[in-house]
Structure 1
């Protein structure tokens, strides 16, 4: 096991390295690449990754607390059973990433690319997904209570059995969604009916 504390790295290539089981505290990585790097069970705390590439990186079993991944690329990365606790993921791209069993606790996932993500039965309560792209994602039976879903893209997304109570749904075309079995609160139900032209007194 290794530990990095309060280190800064700029445009460093960590590609293909064995960085498993490490602990990173308050480190900053700017425009670094971790292509095909082994980072299984890495623990990061209050770190910051800016415009870094994790293409093909193995991050399964990793735990991240208060860490920011801003505008990072996770294409084809393995995030199996990884944990993101109160992390800032704004603008990051998860195209073709393996995200089964992932844990997302709170945090800011605004503007992320989560196309085709499999979040069935996931607990996503209170997460900020402002303008995230969930095109063709599986959100069946997902718990999205109190999440910020403002202007997210849900084209072809599966929502059967999802719980949306208390979630912000501003800017979403509800008419274009299959909401069969979706749990909504009374305020959301009114918005849904009005989208179909109903007059609510």
Structure 2
């Protein structure tokens, strides 16, 4: 797969239960992050599309597991954004069950991508999400979005802040990312493909 020239990218299904998950058997990369962290922009930048994933003015709009087929070689699985205050507790509980089910049972899941905002210290919910990945023994790639908003001279400071707050383990990786400048895109693709091609240890 040539990440510079992606010919096919499409949403396959928005699933709420295991019976709806695709049965293609290809590796899956799960994407998690706060409602306003820029997941849709991340997906669109990674696949060189303007609107494969819809960016919404209403955070918390994703209520399902959205499976995006990339070149018939892997899926990006976009899970509901967290930390959106106007979502009811009952709705959040439903999401929790749906995500637990997916994380606990999905053999195709090879990597978790945790998106955080490069400008700010990770929230308690970001930390919980990182711990959630670790609980299920899922390798984690931390992507810090909106890196173009931070001066280059302060990148090291913000990187240290995020790694420290998450207590990032040595086997997990971290990249600043910008959907504006495409910083990090190539490195992140290299990391993802290392997991999908040969099950990186």
Instruction: Determine if the TM-score, normalized by the shorter chain, exceeds 0.5.
Output: no
TM-score normalised over the length of structure 1: 0.29
- Say which structure is richer in strand: 2
The structure with higher relative contact order (CA 8 Å, sep 6+) is 2
TM-score scaled by length of structure 2 = 0.29
Larger Rg: 1
